[in-house]
Amino acid sequence: MLITGGRGRLSRLLGVALAERGHHVVASSRVPGTRFIDCREAASAACLASFDAVLHLAWSTVPALAERSPGSEWEADLPWLAGMLRTLSGLPHASRPQLVFFSSGGTVYGEAPAGRASREDDPCRPIGWYGRAKLAAERLIDDFTHACGLESTVLRVANPYGYLLDPAKPQGLIAHLLHSAQTGRPAVVWGDGSARKDYLAAADLCEAVARVIELRVTGLYNLGSGESHTVDEIIALVHAISGSAFAVEYREGFAWDVHCSRLDVRRIEQRLAWRPRISPHEGIARLWRVQTTVS
C-alpha cells in the first residue's frame, strides 16, 4: 500500500492500522526522509505499478488556509493528481493499483438538506474553497475512471478525531478543546456553538478504510459516524470527561464554514458490512487518557 501525504497524523495512523493487519505500507511525502519516499518518485509508473492500492491523502490546505489563498489547490494539488491519474491510466490493467481518494464530507455538500443527512446522490454546493477543490478532485478522478477504466474509490470523510494535533494548526475542534482542558487556557470557538457536525473516531475510520482495500470496493461513499453533534455538545463532553472548567471564547463565525454537516452513511455500511462503534464520549475519553499520559 502507498499512502501519500505520509507525514500527516491521520496518514500515520492509517499506516499503523494497515501494517497491523499484515499489509506492507510505504509512505510518500513532499519532504522525503528515512521513512518517506519522495512524492515525485511515488508518482512514477514503475513505483505505482508495484502497489496494490494507493491511498491519496496528500493535500496542501485545510479549510481555513484554503480561504487565505483561494484557488491554490489548482496550482499544486490538482495538477499533481492529474499527473498521477495519467500515469495510472498508462499502466497495463493488471498493474494498476486501486486509487482511494480522501475527500471531505464536511465541505463538499455545503449545508445539509433540511431535516436529513446528506446522501451521495445529493447535489454538491460547497461554500468554501477547500470544498470546491476537493469536489474538483473528485470530478477529475471520475472522468479518468470512466474514460480509462481505473479502479477508484472516493471517501467523503467526516470530521475525524482521535489523535493529537499541533495546537497551532487551525483544524480539529476536539483536539483543541482537550488542549484547553489540559492547559487551562480558554478555548476559542468560531460561531455561537450551534454548528452541527459529524465526528468520526480515527479507529472506526481505519477499520472502514482497511475493508475498502481488502474487499477492493470502488465507488463514492460517505464515511462518517452517522450521527451529528453541535459544537456546544462536544464542549460539554470535554468539560465532563476532563473535569476541567476551561473557559470558552465564542467569536464571529466564518461565512465559508458549513453550519450543518450531516452524513448519511448507509451506503458504506451496507457495502462493507461495517458500522462505526466508537461514540464521541468513548472516543474523547480515550484521547484524553492518551493526552494526559504523554504530557
The CA distance from 282 to 278, in Å, is 6
What grid cell was written down for 287? 484521547
| pLDDT tens-digit map of 69-87 | 999 999 999 999 999 999 9
- The mean pLDDT value for 180-186 works out to 93
The pLDDT of 266-277, averaged and rounded, is 97
pLDDT category at 182 given cuts 50, 70, 90 is very high
Tell whether the model's pLDDT for residue 166 goes beyond 90. no
Tens digits of residue pLDDT in 118-127: 999 999 999 9
Rounded Cα gap, residues 52 and 171, in angstroms: 31
Phi/psi at 153 (5° precision): -135, 130
Q: Which of 24-28, 57-61, 107-111, 168-172 has the lowest mean pLDDT?
A: 168-172
Given the candidates 3.10.129.10, 2.60.120.380, 3.40.50.720, 3.60.20.10, the CATH classification of the domain at 2-294 is 3.40.50.720
Q: How far apart are CA 131 and CA 93, in angstroms?
A: 31
105 falls in which pLDDT band (50, 70, 90)? very high
Please tell me the least confidently modeled range out of 11-25, 28-42, 67-81, 274-288: 28-42
Buried b (16+ CB within 10 A) or exposed e, 146-166: eeeebbbbbbbbbbbbbbebe
Is pLDDT at 148 greater than 90 in this prediction?
yes
Inform me whether the pLDDT recorded for 168 exceeds 70. no
